[in-house]
Structure 1
């Protein structure tokens, strides 16, 4: 099994439960890990035999552009799109972190992590 990963992809987006969050926006970090067994060995040096992390990054970019109330919804949408694009994945982990969330105290980030494994 192999894992491709994106760590700390940073975005400015408009996700949040409160209307002010959806109006003002804030910074987010997204981590994605995708486990899979390669279609073939890599001696042919063909990107079609792996999960292309550039395409995964583009999926995350597109989903971050759609304002949602819950970061859980964002993470789930990313997973759904990766599964649709790469049916051979064995596991996916997506973490979405909201930097400096609007709480009463100083908090570095709030986050959600969703783990996906296909049903057998």
Structure 2
């Protein structure tokens, strides 16, 4: 087994329940960790044998581009795509952070984390 982590993927997106959030948008950070069998690629040195982190990054970017009211919803969509498209992945954990959320206080970010194991 092994892990692949994509840390601090920075994006701008239009998630939120407030009308202005879906127009103006906010800055987000996504952290993604997957677990899977990385023994074969550690020996073969072939991209075809591993879990491609470019593919993982593209899933995050595409799902973050689709509007959601809740961070929980976009996080679950990312998990569903990873497990649906990458059969070598056994476990996915995704954390979606909204930077400077409009919650009436000095809060750096809010974060929602979800995980799922096949």
TM-score range, shorter-chain basis? over 0.9
CA apart distance, 1:85 = 1.3
Which residue is equivalent to 2:79? 79
Which residue is equivalent to 1:88? 88
Which residue is equivalent to 1:49? 49
Asked whether the 8 Å contact 2:41–2:50 carries over to 1, the reply is no
Deviates more, 1:43-52 or 1:61-70: 43-52
Deviates more, 1:33-42 or 1:54-63: 33-42
* Separation of aligned partners in 2, 1:81 and 1:39: 23
CA apart distance, 1:41 = 4.6
What is the SS of the residue equivalent to 1:40? helix
User: Normalising by the residue count of structure 1, what TM-score does the alignment of the two structures yield?
Assistant: 0.93
Q: Over residues 49-74 of structure 1, what are the superposed CA-to-partner deviations in whole Å (9 max), with x where a residue is unaligned?
A: 11111110000010111111011111
* Separation of aligned partners in 1, 2:24 and 2:41: 47
Give 4+ residue runs of structure 1 displaced > 3 Å after superposition. none
After superposition, the CA RMSD in angstroms is 1.2
Aligned length: 118
- Structure 2 unpaired stretches of 5+: none
1:9 pairs with 2:5: no
CA apart distance, 1:79 = 0.6
Deviates more, 1:8-17 or 1:33-42: 33-42
- Structure 1 unpaired stretches of 5+: none
Deviates more, 1:38-47 or 1:66-75: 38-47
Q: Over residues 7-53 of structure 1, what are the superposed CA-to-partner deviations in whole Å (9 max), with x where a residue is unaligned?
A: 00000000001111111100000000000013625232111211111
